[in-house]
Structure formats: C-alpha cells, structure tokens
Amino acid sequence: MIKIIQPCTIEIAENNFKSFHIKMSYKEGKLSLYGVIGAKRNGDAHGSCGQNLDELKRESLKLAKGWTKEDIEKLYTIWKRWHLNDINSQCEHQRQLGWEEKGLKEVTHYKYELNYKTILKQEKIKKEIIKLLDIGKTVKLNKEQIELINLPYFFNTFDELANEDFYKLDKKVSKKLLHLTPEEHPEGILTKKCPICGYECGTEWLFEEVPDNIIEWLFSRPKPENRYSWK
C-alpha cells in the first residue's frame, strides 16, 4: 500500500511556500514515510527531503485543505514512533522511558598512547632490573618507578586528560550512548536491561506491529492539494 499525502506547505524562504509531500508505504507490516518539500520534476527539491518530519513542527507552515493542526501533530507522532517499525532495537518500555533520545546522545572517547619520553623511561627501568637480576641482586623499585612501569601502552577514557605527562592523544571519536554498554560508559544503554520486561537494549531488531487504527488513519488522509511531480 502506497499513498502520497500533502498535509501542508512550508515557507522555505520569506513568503515562498512549497508543498510538503509525504510518501507513505505499508508493505508486509512495515511502515515507512518519506517527505519532500518543493519537489521538482527532475527529482531534485527546493526544500528538505527524507526523514524531515521536524519540518512539521514549524510555526510558519500553512495547513492544506482537510488538515488540522491536531492532524499535523498526530502525523508527526506517528512518523516518529512508527517509521521503520521493523528495526526497533528497543522494546516499547525502553522507548517510553525515552531511551531512544538518550541513545542518540554523543560522548567523546579518547584513546591515548604512551608518549616517547615515557617509553624511554620504562625501557631504562627494565634494563636496570635485568642488569641487577643478572648479577644476582634483589630488585627494589620505588613507588614512582612501579607506577611508571605499570602504565599500559594504550589508555582509553571518556574524560580528556589534563596536563598529561605520560600519554599523547592517539584518537578522539564520538560515540553514541546507544553503542556503548554500561560497563564501557556509565550512561551507555547497549545491553542495558528493560526494568519491565528484561529485554537487553540493542541486542535484537524487534518487530512491532503497527496498530490497525494508525494505518487506517494514515491511509484515509485527504489526497494532496497540490500535485506531486516527483518520481
């Protein structure tokens, strides 16, 4: 089932309103929506396209015939909640708890590597130890030396090291909380259990059936006021 609707026009520049068309597809239980603003005949568009549902939140939009402000809000909620219902990585409870938004939050992961100066110092201590052992002496290291020799080559952290003497920054990457386990980051949600059903977040792609009344509502929306010329 495929249907194109046009709930409103959007002001893309001052006093320049373009039609917001949304292509809805419902096949084998999967719902997907795709928006385009100001579709051009050549497949290009004057405005945004794709998952541009946030455009429905604009103050300046003009309702199309047969649409109310409430309809627009309802459409937004449905789009956000049910688009690609077959690839949910969270259960319904986790989504209700706002884990979806939380999962999109990004944190910076810093990967440090021992700096050359420190490697040389470690080498020096090791050599001294070997030398002493060779001549049958007992090795006694001071606290500072023990600390130094035990420093791992790589060091990963979510907190940037300040005035670091031993390490140099090797890599800095942004990671979403969605892709981090609670062991990796205190706020990470990957594999975190749902407090209600116990489902471990992100461990499966869950299919959730779209309620009939939602499909009925979507596919009974009025026909587009302005023609859709996109192919």
Residues in touch with Zn ion (CB under 5 A):
91, 93, 194, 196-197, 199
Which CB, 93 or 176, lies closer to Zn ion? 93
Nearer CB in complex with Zn ion: 132/197: 197
Nearer to Zn ion, 167 or 199 (CB): 199
**Which residue, among 99, 103, 105, 104, has the nearest Cα to 197 in the 3D structure?**
99
* Nearest distance in Å: CB 203, Zn ion: 12
171, amino acid identity = K
Question: Of the two residues 91 and 189, which places its CB atom closer to Zn ion in the complex?
Answer: 91
For Zn ion, give the closer residue by CB, 2 or 196.
196
Nearer to Zn ion, 90 or 122 (CB): 90
Residue nearest to Zn ion (CB): 194
User: Cβ 195 to Zn ion, closest distance in Å?
Assistant: 8
Closest approach of Zn ion to the CB of residue 187, in Å: 19
Instruction: Output the smallest distance, CB 194 to Zn ion, in A.
Output: 3
Smallest gap, in angstroms, from Cβ of residue 209 to Zn ion?
16
Amino acid in the structure at residue 188: G
